[in-house]
């Protein structure tokens, strides 16, 4: 019997600095209700979906940034979203900034099943940007200051009738992300992102942001025989223009749904999880064709080395 999972990618438009969490949660709930109307089983929200993208500013005292982080999930502010999702029978994936009881700071996603059960929490592995204040930039990208990289790696969980993994933003640019989950039989990868169109270190890449966004998710889907759902927080946020182009990608690498705006927008696709096997059991039959004995460099070294 074919395993069908109806997924909604719930793109958000910009969240300004003065927008409250309560206002944002109302927007999330509106998208959730749209998804329920379209009979979605699962809705995917963006990275850092509850606030503006605060790493674009630098503060000398980290405590001055504490208000951007969540110390519990659900929190009193997000509990209505959890309650509404359970009532509607729709699961969701939500990105947010996490501050743990031990004072650790992570860029986090949580996965919640249709009955309200928390399936898993994923913490971002590949942290982009810079660690120190760079005042000459038009805006900061200080994720490496505000977040520590997770050492937990890339898990895959049985949920929604399949095998589900998560990644966040910059993780999608690294092929190892997909392959580690692919080796666990992943069938759906959920990814939220905030991607400024202007790339300060090399502005020649600005015009290619949409191309690169699709390239990495389509290739990751195809080479691992998995669905990939990438969801943006888009539009002009505090003067910074960010990419939209949220998409749902099939195991064939084909884009089956994509947003047309940079506003709050829901796209929906019926995802046949059994489609994955058409690739996992043919071209990308890992057990038959992979050669891990010659891939040692991938885990034995971090940067490039040159042998003359």
Who's near 124: CB < 8 A, 6+ residues apart?
Answer: 106, 107, 108, 147, 149, 150, 167, 168, 169, 170, 171
Q: What is the pLDDT, as a whole number, of residue 2?
A: 84
- Cβ-contact 242, 232 below 8 angstroms: yes
Is 124 a known active-site residue? yes
Please check the confidence at residue 146 and state whether its pLDDT lies above 70.
Answer: yes
First-to-last C-alpha distance (Å) of the chain: 56
268 has pLDDT over 70: yes
Q: Is 152 a catalytic residue?
A: no
Catalytic residue among 40, 93, 169, 191: 169
Average pLDDT over residues 33-44: 98
Does pLDDT of 246 surpass 90?
A: yes
176-231 pLDDT per residue, tens: 999 999 999 999 999 999 999 999 999 999 999 999 999 999 999 999 999 999 99
Q: What percent of the chain has pLDDT over 70?
A: 100
The answer to whether residue 1 scores a pLDDT higher than 80 is no
Q: How many CB atoms lie within 10 A of CB 34?
A: 17
DSSP assignments along 35-87, one per residue: HHHTT-SEEE--TTTTS--GGGS--SSGGGGGGGSBSSSS-TTTHHHHHHHHH
Is 86 marked active-site? no
Question: Tens digit of pLDDT for each residue in 71-87?
Answer: 999 999 999 999 999 99
Catalytic residue among 70, 124, 265, 276: 124
Domain 4-300, CATH homologous superfamily name and number: Carbon-nitrogen hydrolase (3.60.110.10)
CA neighbor of 85 nearest in space, from 67, 64, 110, 66? 110
């Amino acid at each position: 019997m074919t395993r069908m999972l109806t997924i909604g990618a719930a793109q958000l438009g910009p969240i300004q600095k003065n927008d409250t969490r309560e206002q944002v949660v109302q927007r999330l709930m509106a998208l959730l209700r749209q998804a329920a109307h379209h009979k979605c089983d699962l809705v995917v929200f963006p990275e850092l979906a509850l606030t503006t993208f605060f790493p674009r500013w630098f503060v000398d005292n980290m405590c001055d940034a504490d208000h951007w982080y969540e110390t519990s999930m659900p929190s009193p502010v997000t509990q209505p979203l959890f309650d509404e999702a359970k009532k509607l029978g729709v699961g969701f994936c939500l990105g947010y900034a996490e501050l743990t009881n031990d004072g650790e700071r992570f860029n986090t996603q949580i996965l919640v099943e249709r009955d309200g059960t928390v399936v898993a929490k994923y913490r971002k592995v590949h942290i982009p940007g810079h660690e120190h204040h760079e005042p000459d930039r038009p805006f900061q990208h200080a994720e490496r200051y505000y977040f520590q990289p997770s050492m937990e790696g890339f898990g895959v969980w049985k949920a929604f009738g399949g095998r589900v993994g998560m990644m966040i933003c910059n993780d999608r640019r690294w092929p190892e992300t997909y392959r580690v989950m692919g080796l666990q039989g992943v069938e759906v990868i959920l990814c939220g992102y905030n991607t400024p169109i202007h790339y300060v270190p090399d502005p020649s890449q600005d015009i290619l942001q949409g191309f690169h966004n699709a390239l990495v998710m389509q290739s990751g889907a195809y080479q691992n025989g998995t669905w990939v759902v990438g969801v943006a927080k888009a539009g002009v946020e505090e003067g910074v223009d960010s990419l939209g182009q949220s998409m749902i990608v099939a195991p064939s690498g084909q884009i089956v749904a994509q947003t047309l705006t940079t506003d709050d927008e829901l796209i929906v696709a019926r995802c046949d999880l059994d489609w994955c096997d058409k690739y996992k059991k043919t071209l990308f039959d890992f057990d038959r064709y992979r050669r891990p004995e010659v891939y040692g460099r991938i885990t034995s070294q971090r940067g490039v080395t040159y042998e003359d």
